[in-house]
Amino acid sequence: MLFLYESIDDFVMSHLGEFEEKKFVSCEQAELELPEAHSEAEGEALDPDSVKEFCTWMQGVLGNEKVESVTASNRLITGPALILHTDKMMNANMRRMYRLMKQDNLPELKVNLQINIRNNLIKSLSKLIKTDVKRSEVIANQIFDSALMSAGLLENPREMIERMYRILEIAAES
């Protein structure tokens, strides 16, 4: 396992492809298969019907223009959500390099959202969608933008910051 931290590393590794018959694969790629990452000590997961209903709802809220799919994650242990790239060549570092080179022809961002079905925020949101749709949608969009930010893909944080203020107002009123 290699841990690479520099922006140029993705570019170099994508062009190398493999070394001594070992294929280089970024952990940010959607098709990477990993073993289950959680343990039973982390809490009760949503039941399979609730997971399917929640993923369908979240996909509907975010829309196909933002996310290709919403699925349960086997990678997450603590966080509520994770962004995975569907474009093998254009990850966050490559997008950043293109922007630094003043390249305006960036391909459309294509991502999958994976949710942690053991996370308390996701479990609470799963219940909230039945009682408060408007607040649920605000929270769902915030989870998505936070996951984009964590992945280094949030290009314009203005909308996210305004939404964060709305969430803080709701919390202050409670």
Across 16-25, 44-53, 71-80, least confident range:
16-25
H helices, E strands: number in the chain? 6, 5
Residue 6, pLDDT above cutoff 70: no
Q: Name the band, by pLDDT with cuts 50, 70 and 90, for residue 69.
A: very high
pLDDT of 171: 85
Q: Give the mean pLDDT of 11-37.
A: 63
CA distances from 2 to 13, 64, 83, 85, 151 (A): 11, 33, 20, 19, 18
- Angstrom CA distances, 141 to 9, 32, 110, 165, stand at 31, 25, 16, 13
Give the predicted TM-score (pTM) of the model: 0.74
Number of neighbours of residue 125 by Cβ within 10 angstroms: 20
- Which residues share a beta bridge with 115? 72, 81
Token pair belonging to 8: 């140029």
Between 3-17, 68-82, 120-134, the lowest mean confidence (pLDDT) is in 3-17
pLDDT exceeds 50 at position 100? yes
Query: Can you give the pLDDT at residue 111?
Result: 86
For 43-173, the fitting CATH number among 3.40.309.10, 3.30.300.30, 3.40.1180.10, 1.20.120.790 is: 1.20.120.790
Locate the domains of the chain by residue range. 43-173
